[in-house]
Structure 1
């Protein structure tokens, strides 16, 4: 019995050590009550929990080890900010104005160190090339030449001075960013180097936010004519049935979707669908988002928030022979060009009993309201930008994105541009 008690005590002690707290403080005039904490898996934000303010302070207790990027989102005001965890307490103070976050003060050591390194890295990539060019016009023995030389030397330094044992994630992120993603990294790193990095890296790869940009750089390195060869080489090494292999496969499917590389998206989406192993949550999310918008699938219903030009409570409540669903934004330049073309044919569409439903990925209420005043069709928005539920539910990667539904809300067409919409209804 004593042995069992001792083991239990050790497990309890380990559990307490593994837990850390994220504390966020805001000024008294910051009106949000709710805050949502996210972790990261590849490029996907994963909701951990939602907390309410107590005296304008939010406290999240994280129950296990986590090293990587985190995010807090305030849905009431659509404020978001990022920070890191090194499995130690995080303490952040927000400076706000008009219910908007204007500055973030990191009070814990890890985030303070990371913030300073990020600021230095930005200066290095933006300022160093310019200073190097200017230096050619000044002699080293002049006062300005000496000052230039000192500043160039300072900015040329890297994160090697970070103690890896004290700040493992800060060291991991900055070292690998410099090696694989800095301005001149592409000239020095081969595809084999990237494959080795992805294959041998620890779990911080998934939580670091580096995976997606490293994969894009890897594909660019292989060239447009060898995409399949590059992807197959990578997946063969990783073994696509493994958790990392599935995460990489999921990221690649999303990359191909975002860059409109339909042939490659279809190829690797089919590979994912045909896997016989246990599917990870990360890949399952990608499969579900894509299945939701397959041709012939019933378009998932959406409960309206504050819809205009309708008394319907949800998308499925709208009765029409056909529906055109558009995901758009008032800040989208392509939307600015395309939606007026749809507006010009709106009466013709109505005569065919076709209803248009615009679901906006806007953030600013005033901008959204001003824009929809010109649109007589159904409009709605969560006013959460790319944090909107639309993004994952309907696999939206860009605006505008169009779907045409039949009377039973089945997807019958996925036009790429407004011209395709008008051509489908013979209005072009």
Structure 2
């Protein structure tokens, strides 16, 4: 019994030590009262909890160990900001104006250091090349030459003296960002080095935001002619039965989707579909969002927020022989060129009992409102940009994205461009 008691006490102490809180303060005139805390898994924000403000202070209690990137999102005003956790209390004070975040003050040590490192990284990217060129014109033994040398050395440093023991996540992020994502040709790493890093890295890889850009760098290092070989080599090392292997497989499927590499996406999506092992949450979400929009699938219904040009309450309530769903944004240059072509044929589509439903990934209400004034079809938006539900539910990675539905809301076509839409209805 004594041994059990001691073990229980140790575990209890560890549990208490692992807990930390995130405290966010905002001015009294900031109107949003609800805030959502997210953690990170690869490139996916994962909702942890929601909290209501008390005197414009939000306090999130995190019950377990976590080192990595986090995000707080205010859904009603569409504000968000990122920060880090090193499994210690986080304290942040916001400066706002007209319900928009203007500045962020990091009051805890870890985020203060990380913020300064990020600023230094930006200076390094912008200033270091210029200083290196200027240095050629000054001798090292002059006062200015010495100062240049000191500043170049400081900006060239990867971790800027960060103590790994005191700040393990900052050290991890800075070191590996500098090593694997550097634009310096002299720091080019091999595919084998990247594979070893992804294979051997601890859990901070998934929570660091580094996984996707490192995977893109890995694919680029293998060349466009050897994508399959590069991917197979990586997955063979990681094993797709493991959580790390499945997270990487999920990221790769999404990368191929974003870059419109359809053949590769289909190949590795089929690999994921045919796995017989237990699937982790990350891969399961990718499989679900893709299954939602497969040709022949019932398009997931969407309850309109404040739709115009209709009295319908949802997509399914709109009655038509066919529906064209278009995900777009007023800030999207491709939408700017494609949607007017849809507008030209709107009356022809309407005469065939074909309804257009535009779902916008806009953030700015004024910009959205001005733009939809020209569009006579059904328009709606959550006004949350890429924080909207559209991305995960409908696997939307770019705008514009089109779907054609039949009268029963089944997906019958997924056109790539507006020309494909018009050609489908023989209006081109």
TM-score surpassing 0.5? yes
Instruction: State which drifts further: 185-194 or 102-111.
Output: 185-194
2:160 pairs with 1:157: no
Aligned to 1:8: 8
For 1:228-239, what aligned pairs fall within 5 Å after superposition?
A: 228-239=228-239
1:99 counterpart = 2:99: yes
Q: Does 1:35 align with 2:35?
A: yes
Question: Gaps spanning 5+ residues in structure 2: where?
Answer: none
1:220-277, Cα deviation, whole Å (9 max, x unpaired): 0000000000000000000111000000000000000000000000000000000000
- Structure 1 counterpart of 2:256: 256
For 1:173, the equivalent position in structure 2 comes to: 173
Cα displacement (A) at 1:396: 0.3
Q: How does 1:315-394 map to 2 (within 5 A)?
A: 315-394=315-394
**Structure 1, unpaired ranges of 5+:** none
CA distance in 2, matches of 1:424, 1:413: 8
CA contact (8 A) 1:256 1:265 kept: yes
Question: Could you tell which deviates more after superposition, 162-171 or 140-149?
Answer: 140-149
- 1:18 positional shift: 1.2
Q: Partners of 2:260 and 2:409 in 1: how far apart?
A: 25
Would you say 1:75 and 2:75 are equivalent positions?
Answer: yes
Residue 180 of structure 1 contacts residue 186 of structure 1 at CA under 8 Å; is this kept in 2?
no
Shift of 1:17: 1.2
Q: CA RMSD in A?
A: 1.3
1:182, CA displacement in angstroms? 1.4
Distance 2:186 2:362 in 1: 35
- Corresponding residue number in structure 2 for 1:415: 415
1:257/1:265 contact within 8 Å kept = yes
Distance 1:120 1:427 in 2: 55
| Offset, 1:143 | 4.9
Tell me, yes or no, if structure 1 residue 280 matches structure 2 residue 283.
no
Deviation at 1:140, TM superposition (A): 4.0
Q: Distance in 2 between matches of 1:137 and 1:251?
A: 46
Partner of residue 242, structure 2: 242
> Quick one: distance in 2 between partners of 1:258 and 1:309?
31
- 2:93 aligns to what SS in structure 1? strand
Aligned residues of 1:186 and 1:221 also touching (Cα < 8 A): no
* Structure-2 separation of matches of 1:188 and 1:265: 27
Q: TM-score, normalised by structure 1?
A: 0.98
2:124 maps to 1:124: yes
Q: Residue 21 of structure 2 corresponds to which residue in structure 1?
A: 21
State whether residues 186 and 217 of structure 1, in contact with CA within 8 Å, keep that contact through their aligned partners in structure 2. Answer: no
C-alpha displacement at 1:3, in angstroms?
A: 5.1
Any idea what SS the aligned residue of 1:161 has? Answer: coil
Cα distance in 1, alignment partners of residues 318 and 185 from structure 2: 52
8 Å CA contact 2:154, 2:160 repeated in 1: no
How far does residue 147 in structure 1 lie from its aligned partner after superposition? 3.4
Taking structure 2 as the reference length, what is the TM-score of the superposition? Answer: 0.98
Q: Distance in 1 between matches of 2:175 and 2:144?
A: 32
Distance change >3 Å, CA 132–CA 4, structure 1 → 2: closer
The size of the alignment, in residue pairs, is 428
Match of 2:188 in 1: 188
